[in-house]
């Protein structure tokens, strides 16, 4: 389990415990309690969405860097092959 998914697991567990404690310990009406729980659940959903967007952005960035590195290596190999061909032709000519 990675650090981010472990942290997300702890967050979800903490949110569940918080909601349960709120339901058991608050002297609010049922409607107020439901509104509070909905608000907290939405906050948790927003947090998870934000972290998912962060992960997506990081993965996209890593993919782009990998593509650039592969292209740079391919260009270097192509240049070396061209230089080798030119050197061979110079030796033959």
Per-residue tens of pLDDT for the chain, all 93 residues: 455 777 777 887 888 887 777 777 767 677 887 888 788 888 888 888 898 999 999 999 999 999 999 999 999 999 999 888 898 888 886
Distance CA 66, CA 42 (A): 36
Domain locations in the chain?
3-92
Distance CA 55, CA 57 (A): 5
**Can you read off the two tokens belonging to residue 79?**
């240049």
Q: What is the pTM of this model?
A: 0.51
Closest to 44 in 3D by CA, of 27, 63, 22, 25: 22
pLDDT at 3: 57
DSSP single-letter state for residue 1: -
| Residue pointed to by tokens 């969405």 | 49
pLDDT at 2: 56
pLDDT at 68: 95
| Residue pointed to by tokens 């740079």 | 72
């Amino acid at each position: 389990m990675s650090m981010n998914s472990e942290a997300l697991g702890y967050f979800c567990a903490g949110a569940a415990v918080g909601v349960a404690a709120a339901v058991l310990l608050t002297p609010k009406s049922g409607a107020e309690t439901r509104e509070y729980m909905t608000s907290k659940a939405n906050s948790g959903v927003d947090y998870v969405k934000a972290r998912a967007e962060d992960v997506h952005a990081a993965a996209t960035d890593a993919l782009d860097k990998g593509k650039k590195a592969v292209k740079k290596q391919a260009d270097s190999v192509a240049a070396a092959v061209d230089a080798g061909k030119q050197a061979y032709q110079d030796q033959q000519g």
